[in-house]
Amino acid sequence: MPSRLTRRSLLLGGAAVAASACSPPAREQVPVEYLPPSPASPVPPPVPVSARRLRSVARGKDVDLVLIAPEGVPIAGLPVCLALHGKGNNARGFVDLGVPGMLTDAVRAGTPPFAVVAVDGEHYWVDVDGGDDPQRMLGEELPGWLAESGIAAPSAALGVSMGAFGALRYARDHRDLRATVACSPALFVDWPDAEKREVFRDQSQWESHEPLLHTGELVPESLGVWCGEDDPFIGAARRLASATTPARTEIGAGGHDDDYWKTAMPEILRFVGARLAS
């Protein structure tokens, strides 16, 4: 496999689409093992995106692990931001959202480089049935998976929608995170609101996980909150910001959709990069 990509478009885990008639055909992308370069024999920077299929014992199923680095920057040694997707999506959704290009643009504009790591999750990133525990996967399995490729454990976390619920839950158990971002956070101001989602087993279980009921366990200095004014969760986002006084709060035009997330993500990545370098 060549050491340099010739196309920006990358199909994770499958065959690449055919190139134009004047260009050589794209090659199949396979998982890339990232290793630190040796001073004696320099290694070219790796491709910016790779994916692996792994068995999660904590979740009782196979999951995708997606690694995103700024283009032209070796991933080994970079600080890492964990990215948690929303309901109905998966780890590869951050590629579809354009995060690889956004991260590369941010770094080229001066943001200190870092890597983004995404993995598949479900049911608000918490264990609701006793057999599928995303938080245990993140805390116990993910660091080992990353270490196999010479990549550090996450020192920041961001989440979109349901993923924001998960990122805030993760931050409660990892108070040393340098940045935690809740984008369009799908939080619930009361049990009737949460119960309608048909996710949590009962009110007690929801209360044990709901970020709005555990704001004292979050670190305001590392927290950022982004939400659109037309988002149905805007009330919960404002409540989160009011209860925690985050380092950054951005409430702007937009709803609960890709259009807003594509608008907000470049600034979110700059926030994370600055916090990781501080």
pLDDT by residue for the chain (278 residues), tens only, comes to 333 333 334 333 443 333 333 433 333 333 433 334 444 434 444 558 999 999 999 999 999 999 999 999 999 999 999 999 999 999 999 999 999 999 999 999 999 999 999 999 999 999 998 889 999 999 999 999 999 989 999 999 999 999 999 999 999 999 999 999 999 999 999 999 999 999 999 999 999 999 999 999 999 999 999 999 999 999 999 999 999 999 999 999 999 999 999 999 999 999 999 999 98
Query: pLDDT at position 47, please?
Result: 56
Please give the pLDDT value at position 130.
85
Residue 44 lies in a domain: no
Residues 11 and 119 in one domain: no
Among candidate residues 74, 81, 73, 77, the one with its CA nearest the CA of residue 104: 73
> Would you say 16 and 1 are in contact if contact means Cβ atoms under 8 Å apart?
no
Do 11 and 103 have their domain in common?
A: no
Q: Residue 221: its pLDDT value, please?
A: 96
**Domain-located, residue 150:** yes
Whole-number pLDDT of residue 5? 39
Whose structure tokens read 């994770």?
12
Residues 81 and 176 in one domain: yes
> The domain that contains 53 carries what CATH number?
3.40.50.1820
Whether residues 19 and 68 share a domain: the answer is no
Q: How many domains does the chain have?
A: 2
| Residues 154, 182 within the same domain | yes
Nearest to 166 by CA among 48, 46, 85, 263: 85
Q: Is residue 35 part of a domain?
A: no
Rounded Cα distance between 227 and 104, Å, is 23
Q: Are residues 267 and 222 in the same domain?
A: yes
Question: Do 103 and 170 share a domain, yes or no?
Answer: yes
Q: Are residues 3 and 57 in the same domain?
A: no
Residue 84 forms beta bridges with which residues? 159
Same domain for 1 and 128, yes or no, is no
In-domain check, residue 84:
yes
Q: What local confidence, expressed as pLDDT, does residue 14 receive?
A: 41
Write down the pLDDT at residue 93: 96
Sheet with 80-84, edge to edge strand ranges: 49-56, 61-68, 115-119, 80-84, 156-160, 179-183, 223-228, 248-252
Q: Do 124 and 206 meet the contact criterion of CB atoms below 8 Å apart?
A: no
Q: Are residues 242 and 195 in the same domain?
A: yes
Cβ(98)–Cβ(106) below 8 Å? no
Q: What is the domain range of residue 7?
A: 1-30
Q: Per the structure block, which two tokens stand in for 188?
A: 């619930």
> Is residue 169 located within the same domain as residue 218?
yes
